Amino acid sequence: MRSAGLLSACLIATALSAAGCGGGGGGTEQSAGASGCRKVSTPPPKKVHLRPPSAQVVHPGKKLTAVVETSCGTFSISLDTKRAPKTTNSFVYLVRKGFYDGLSFQRIVPRYIIQGGDPRENDTGGPGYTIDEPPPPNLSYTKGVVAMAKTQVEPPGRSGSQFFIVTVPAIPLSPDYALLGRVGSGKDVVARIAHLGTGTGEPSQPVRIDRITVRKGR
């Protein structure tokens, strides 16, 4: 089964056009000192086929924080368990299985989004299942919002494992992409990762997700 994977191609193309073809520059030989990130290799692609979570272990409204350790530093995501209980439940399930550990931010579009969580490392991978949860109808994709990526042909609110973080004041998306939460601490780390975007969307140097953990509270 092909999993949900990416923001629609037309939206990515629009963002890249606005950013300019030279955005990010660099190349994979950029030094760690120049970017503030450790130099790491691109993770090898892998196929994953997990069963969907069998139980709702995340209680709506429970305060949970995902701590994302990367080769560029650590940031946190305040999970929106109240407005997105199914989406956050699936994310927590994947985190507890170590799904994200060792993957990367494989898509970094300058002045738009950073996107990660694809085991295939080509925007087409996922966990082997999808879930559906309608996003809040008034959802706006403003700076720091974390949402789940999907293909253009998939229904609103469908998600697998890939997530994106908005890195500009706002992006013009209708509320079709499942809500996950919002960046809490480490906004400077997100900005550091975003700085590695290029005109193709491919990072100028690999950014690895070392580990994600979930803790109670904000």
Q: What is the pLDDT of residues 115-173, one digit of tens each?
A: 999 999 999 999 999 999 999 999 999 999 999 999 999 999 999 999 999 999 999 99
Q: Annotate 74-131 with three-state secondary structure.
A: EEEEEECCCCCHHHHHHHHHHHHCCCCCCCECCEEECCCEEEECCCCCCCCCCCCCCE
Answer yes or no: are the C-beta atoms of 54 and 44 closer than 8 Å. no
Domains of the chain, start order: 9-40+62-216 (2.40.100.10)
Q: What is the rounded distance in angstroms from the CA atom of residue 191 to the CA atom of residue 183?
A: 11
Give pLDDT, residue 218.
83
What residues in the chain have per-residue pLDDT under 70? Answer: 1-34
pLDDT at site 118: 98
Percent of the chain residues past pLDDT 70, beyond the cut: 84
